[in-house]
Structure 1
Amino acid sequence: MPQQVRGVIARSKGAPVEIVPITIPDPGANEVVVAIAACGVCHTDLTYRDGGINDEYPFLLGHEASGIVESVGPGVTHVEVGDFVVLNWRAVCGQCRACKRGRPQYCFDTFNAEQKMTLEDGTELTPALGIGAFADKTLVHEGQCTKVDASADPAVVGLLGCGVMAGMGAAMNTGNVGRGDSVAVIGCGGVGDAAIMGSRLAGANTIIAIDRDPRKLEWATELGATHTINATEVDDVVEAVQELTGGFGADVVVDAVGRPETWKQAFYARDLAGTVVLVGVPTPDMKLEMPLVDFFSRGGALKSSWYGDCLPERDFPVLVDLYQQGRLPLEKFVSERIKLDEVEKAFETMHRGEVLRSVVVL
């Protein structure tokens, strides 16, 4: 029987979010209802609210979440009632050309629940990244659920559902950071700091954090940066990176900002044949103009990283286990724990750069 729960929605562009009753249908084929335990406040949710993704209002916000499987629909074999899961937005299909070529991290046809959650009047909701987890419960495809250690802190491990995985994967999967490498990360918010943590886990020797905010550089140091560069205090960021890498530049440079100027810095701050990874999200109007000969003469690899090129079923359980063993300090990303009615306030706090993550705990 359909049930009514609380959910945080964005009703129109730029309007403050609202807590309203929403209706969750019974799970259909391959669908599950998850009782949400915790959900991080990600910048992508703010982008949805402000119309930066699309205009399919109203949005049911929230996507960086963990919870307990409450009920399952026909044909569900992936999870069972009572499983503790981290939600993801990459439920790979197994049938598209990327999956068939053994590259499921690039799946072109990821699954979401087919049924719609609605407002009381029947208005269909668009769940953020196909999840919609600023709610007591949500409806997702079974493939969007990854079972992990049930004793883990929900507020911590739920962050793997987006930002932390995006940053760690940008370094470890896309950038292929290895033992002894030098890495520079431009932009030390949640995603950039996760790239720093991933670089440390992968065995990088020199990890350079670059930002304009001293507080963020402190956070980066706590998460594994060996050197910091305050971009407001140096004449040239590229030269500053080169000075810290024997004059050569870093083996891997991660741009966690996503602006033309930071991407250019990343390009020129890498060593010859080094790798640039773009994980910061640019806006559609941004343009890049550079001499083509510079691309030819420097070699290497220029990559973009979508969700850290992760596979949730492969990556989430391993990272949760490392966290449980005390080898991965994921808890440092949780700046504050808040209530469902504090999401709008958390957007303001995030916009001011005062937190790595606010986490709604239900």
Structure 2
Amino acid sequence: MEHTGFFPPHGGVSLKQLAEHLGVELADEASSEVVIRSIAPVYRAGEGDICYILSRKNRVELETCKASAIICLPALKSFIPEHIPVLLSKKPHTDFALTGALLHPQAMRPVTFTSNPATISPAAVVDATAKLEANVGVEPGAIIGAGAEIGEGTYIGANALIGPGVKIGRNCSIGGGASVLCAYLGNGVIIHNGARIGQDGFGYAPGPRGMIKIVQIGRVIIQDNVEIGANTTIDRGTMDDTVIGEGTKIDNQVQIGHNVRIGRHCAIVSQVGIAGSTVIGDGVQIGGQAGLNGHIHIGDGAQIGAKSGVMNNIPAGERYAGLPARPLWDFLRESAEIAKRSGARDKKDGSAEHD
């Protein structure tokens, strides 16, 4: 693989060490000392690279694969060329992700701009009443407001804004240009460049001379190990809190309205919009560009398809899709019927033109 220099290859991990780190089986002990330095897709993996496959669909790419190792399910081992060592895994996608984190830890958080990210730049503005623990890094142009508290090992990117009274836990990363206001963050939180956390939500009451702004005096609570993508916005609560649960991952350009409560370990993809006061359970997955109405409840483990319009509650464990969103199989059945009727109509019109 040709490396660009942004994320250079690792110094090297032997397959034996990697197998022990992942808790997987190395199919051939003779390859224990093969060195892995980076990750790559199957089609262009070369010496020192490791890749993974999930199905037989990769068979054609495997014919020319030059990887130093492949992670796969035991049932797929017979498809791997004999010259490529194999790590047998029950969860190859997850183990590949863990491998990437081991080989390229610097790619797991927003990029730092100084040689020593655990220092406070003289070009940053840190209020005298702010409390910063040891090894906090603050890049040039960042502003830390009065009474803010930032935990050990946290990094604040260039031109980031940390508002008065904000509390940020330990080992967090706040990307460049991000703003964090009226918020409490747990440990291990990652906020990418340009995200906006804690600004006032969209609330107005009609008056005789137009719309009257409703004050927003709540907070944003972000629990441990949450990751929030670039240019995502999370509004503070009107009077209560907007809450993002532990381990939840939010993509770029997502809009989360005031008083929304999102559970633990959810996954929300790019350009999703969630209106105010909606409650989302644990383990919910929401596809890109879906829109959720306000004041509804999404049950634990529910899955919502991309571009869906969710107007009403969704029970726990259900899969919904479409506009308006309905149970997945209903949506697929209706879509198939529409396609069938459309095909029949096109065929009829074509016959009429021929006549």
Superposition TM-score tier, normalisation by shorter sequence: under 0.3
Structure of larger gyration radius: 2
TM-score (norm 1): 0.23
- TM-score normalised by L of structure 2: 0.23
Compare the two structures and name the one with the higher helix fraction: 1
Structure number with the bigger relative contact order (C-alpha 8 A, sep ≥ 6) is 1
